[in-house]
Structure 1
Amino acid sequence: MSKYLLNKFLYTVDRDPSLVERYRADPRELVTWWEESLSNALLNCPTPEASTWQRLTDEERSALIEHDHCKLFELGAHPFLTLTLFIAMFERDNTEPLEYQKAFGARMAHFSLPYPDIAT
């Protein structure tokens, strides 16, 4: 399991509106493409460099494809990274102010202390 890779996915996709739309429209395609092309690129590196050893687990890949933010949290994804990306993807589907955020929180309500470790 790579909490770093989960968080890197959430961070990089959230910062590119075209990736947000691709993730919303076809999550399997975007996750597969991202893992093959961007997952091992170094963040904020001025020269192109890459690593080759990190891979998402099947469980992580499935949670990303299913947009399952509760499972992502269980796996160590940071809830703020998940929330900001999912707001970008799903808030437009709601009519009431903060409707998506309230639903997000309600689905996370079953978690109690100690929370899953989100340190990377």
Structure 2
Amino acid sequence: MSKYLVNKFLYTIDRDPDLVERYRADPRGTVGWWESERANTLLNCVSGEASTWLRLDDAEREALADHDYPKLFELGAHPFLTLTLFIAMFERDHDGLDYQKEYARRLAHFSLPYPDIAT
């Protein structure tokens, strides 16, 4: 499992409004495209440098494709990265803070100590 790669996905998608919309509309396709085209590029680097070994595991790929942020949190994704991306995608479908309240409700079954979010 690569918490780094999951967090990199969340971070890079959240910073591009076109990718946010693409992920909202076609999560499975976006995850597949990102993993094959962007996962091995260096973060915040415009040169042609890349690695070749990083891959999502099946659980990570499924959680990302299903927009399953409780599962992502369980797998160790950083909660602030999931929250900011999922707010960008779904807050518009709710009134006021209803989406944030739903996010908190769906994570309420976790208790301390939380899953390790270190990468």
Q: Give the TM-score, by structure 1 length.
A: 0.97
- 1:60-99 residue pairs with structure 2 within 5 A? 60-95=60-95, 97-99=96-98
* Deviating 4+ runs (over 4 angstroms): none
Which one-letter code corresponds to 1:80 in the other structure? F
Cα distance in 2 between the residues matched to 1:80 and 1:107: 15
SS state at 1:13 partner: helix
Cα distance in 2 between the residues matched to 1:3 and 1:31: 15
Partner of 1:43 in structure 2? 43
- Give 1:46 shift: 4.0
Cα distance in 2 between the residues matched to 1:46 and 1:29: 24
SS state at 1:45 partner: coil
- Give 1:64 shift: 0.2
Q: RMSD in angstroms over aligned alpha carbons?
A: 0.7
- 1:1-80 residue pairs with structure 2 within 5 A? 1-80=1-80
SS state at 1:39 partner: coil
SS state at 1:44 partner: coil
- Give 1:45 shift: 1.9
Q: Give the TM-score, by structure 2 length.
A: 0.98
Identical columns (%): 74
Which one-letter code corresponds to 2:48 in the other structure? P
The count of corresponding residues between Structure 1 and Structure 2 is 119
Cα distance in 2 between the residues matched to 1:83 and 1:100: 10
Q: Deviations over 1:54-95 (max 9, x none)?
A: 100000000000000000001110000000000000000012
Cα distance in 2 between the residues matched to 1:48 and 1:112: 43
**Structure 1 unaligned regions, length at least 5:** none
